[in-house]
Structure 1
Amino acid sequence: MAKKSLHSICRWTFNPGKGGFVPGDMRPEWGAGFGTPEMIELVAKRIRPRMPKNVLLGIEMHYDAEVDDKNAAAVADALVSNKLYLAMITPGAHSHFAYGGIASLDPKERKAAEDLGTRTVDLAYGTLKKAWHPEIAPGFVIWNGSFGYDIATVGIRQMYQNLKESVAGLCKYEAKKGGQLYIGFEPKPNEGHPAMLIPTVASALLFWYKVEKEFGVNIARKGVNKEFGHSEMIGLDHVADTVEELDNGMCVHMHLNSQGYNDGIILGGPGKYDIDHGARINGMNVAIAGLIQAAGYERWKGHDMQTRAYDNAEQGIDRVIRSVLSWEACEQAARKLNTKALLKALAQRETAQAEDMMRAAVVMAQNAFDEMYK
């Protein structure tokens, strides 16, 4: 059995329905009366028993939509009593600020968004602190759903400067609290604006170096929330993204979701909207699993996913279980892959043999999934 593998389950996955063009009430039991403490209980009772013994589970949540100052004590108690951990917390700025958030050219919006961020830090170090894993501090993810624009003007440069200044201020505030959180920027090419200030992994890496250089921020625990699907949305290579993140020592959190286009079964991919499928078994994910294993990544791997619009609650729970097991299967296949032989084949230009090895690894992963799932 492999050593402990840390997976985090997202509070927002458990919703009654998306609404809009699809039903908003497919899962009424996850509607009124189903709060974050209840979600934590569900994970402990319905998902953890289906996990391999080496899997340790944590929970991810937004402040102040899913955890706030009113329910934080109950959330922390639920985590501790169920032996789950706070894996990641993020300011839900996109729920409040539509004009740039901490990058906004409106000083009132910018200040309000900054205050939301510092309150999130306060809660993590305050009421929620007892729910931290004793050895693995939570991630603090800055999602750029607010940090975008839809008009091409010279004001974009000032928005980018505002973003750097505000994030630097947040990091310095967190450092005074203890400097233990791993702060990750989550790149995204679009949503909730047509254009975003940090669209790619490379953008996020450059951003942190600029924050370090301009504002003297220690970036030892700063980096990227690796979001597979966001790279897939614009046709980028999330394997190459992984190499960049690891090469810079900046993979501080992961979201294993997928837009689905690269497994030949689920539709999605470049030019499509953010579908948020769970982790898939495919060659790219086996490759990424091998890369993070070689790099010694031992932090949380989150499942930022949505149940399908047509799923009931039972099917929704099953989707989460499948996502965790799919990734564990990819990790098992990566460990068993003969990397030395693979590199030798590539060095000798025997690329067809390399393809065969990766295809066999995918089959191995599927067999591992079937064994764990049954």
Structure 2
Amino acid sequence: MANAQTFHSICRWTFNAGKGGFVPANIRPAWAADRFGTVEFIYLVKEKIAPRLPDTITLGVELHYDNEINEQNAEAVAKALAETGLHLAMITPGAHIHFGYGGICSLDPKERAAAEELGRRTVELAYGPLRKAWHPDSDKAPTLVIWNGSFGYDLATVGVRQMYRNLKESLARLCQLEQEKGGLMYIGIEPKPNEGHPAMLLPTVASALLIWRQLADEFGIDRSKKGVNMEIGHSEMIGLDAVYDVVEQLEERAMVHFHLNSQGYNDGIILGGPGRYDIDHGTRVNGMNIALAGLLEQDGYNRWLGHDMQPRPYDNEEQAIDRVVRSILSWEACRRAAQQLDVSELLALLARRETARAEDLMRAALVEAQRQFDALYEPTVSA
């Protein structure tokens, strides 16, 4: 139903002063690292974003260990989450910050050991001081996301197979550790075709699904609560079909978290897409997102929907906050339009090969989604 509770999570790393390089590094000075930490981020979400959302939305946050959350600030972060009513939706070891030679799949044994230790501490922190910040419903327990930003290489050698074997062994050990701690978290692999290496292990949803089957067969890892944190934009970056990628996950019962941000090329307005760098636009009102929302509604998925996005390099703080609000409300608008779509009629038209009329139905749903967005967004402008 349109008024059912949904669960959206907001990423700490969205709130930065600027990226630097070819774009300004200080366009949002109030969010400079020396004055704006994770605790401040949590209160900003509560004070500036939550009031602009319908009360049918529960909010969580997503954090990297150890640059955004660590042993020094964990208690303060947990306290802030408790005071604001927000929850820990996702935590991930920020291995890409520390390791440039493969991380847990590295052929350098010292780097691999250090990367495994980073993962171990991430799990221990989640079950330690952050445990009180979990949602009380066990079905909404946080996801431990393994992102492959360090799982890469730039030399074509037979060593790639050993890297893959290292990766499997390290992932198995991490899963075993989490099971010993309680086995309550969900664990998701986030595929990415590039960044930060020319070639990556686990570049696609299919490769993530495959390695979970191998971990089950070779190491006895229980596949329940294991799966994929797909990001729409990562599928778009190499020209894959995000709708089909979601279908694969749902068929495997492997969607544990979902990053909704896009490269933007699918709406015909914002530029981006295959062959472009990771732009990280927020969710947009478009036909693809109506299809994705419909698939999730049919499947009954009701876990966290993450907004792993970046402000534009010309946004000030107010504009950046507004983009997060727009991203959340855009998904809600697409979800509501998907609920109103006559799926029986759509399938009947497709069965009769009347694809032009099926397109008309989807275009009408898109118009409805924009109407829903306007109704959700306009009252928030003065909030």
| 1:254 equivalent in alignment to 2:258 | yes
**1:141 CA displacement:** 0.3
**1:354 CA displacement:** 0.4
CA RMSD across the alignment: 0.5
**1:52 CA displacement:** 1.1
Alignment of 1:125-204 (within 5 A): 125-135=127-137, 136-204=140-208
Give CA deviations for 1:241-265 in whole Å, capped at 9, x if unaligned.
Answer: 0000000000000000000011000
Match of 2:74 in 1: 72
TM-score by length of 2: 0.97
**1:33 CA displacement:** 1.4
**1:226 CA displacement:** 1.5
Give CA deviations for 1:256-310 in whole Å, capped at 9, x if unaligned.
Answer: 0000011000000000000000001111110000001100101000000000011
Out of 56, 59, 63, the residue aligned to residue 58 of structure 2 is: 56
Match of 2:273 in 1: 269
**1:53 CA displacement:** 1.5
Percent of aligned pairs sharing the same letter? 66
Out of 85, 108, 114, the residue aligned to residue 112 of structure 1 is: 114
**1:369 CA displacement:** 0.3
What is the aligned residue count? Answer: 374
**1:75 CA displacement:** 0.4
Structure 1, unmatched stretches of 5+, are: none
**1:59 CA displacement:** 0.3
Provide the secondary structure at the position in 2 that maps to 1:37: helix
Out of 366, 373, 377, the residue aligned to residue 362 of structure 1 is: 366
**1:348 CA displacement:** 0.8
Report the Cα distance in structure 2 between the residues aligned to 1:245 and 1:169, rounded to whole angstroms: 23
Provide the secondary structure at the position in 2 that maps to 1:145: helix
Out of 203, 210, 215, the residue aligned to residue 206 of structure 1 is: 210
Provide the secondary structure at the position in 2 that maps to 1:289: helix
TM-score by length of 1: 1.00
Report the Cα distance in structure 2 between the residues aligned to 1:326 and 1:112, rounded to whole angstroms: 40
Provide the secondary structure at the position in 2 that maps to 1:9: strand
Match of 2:98 in 1: 96
Provide the secondary structure at the position in 2 that maps to 1:140: strand
**1:2 CA displacement:** 1.9
Alignment of 1:229-308 (within 5 A): 229-308=233-312
Report the Cα distance in structure 1 between the residues aligned to 2:204 and 2:297, rounded to whole angstroms: 23
Match of 1:328 in 2: 332
Report the Cα distance in structure 2 between the residues aligned to 1:284 and 1:23, rounded to whole angstroms: 32
Match of 2:21 in 1: 20
Match of 1:33 in 2: 35
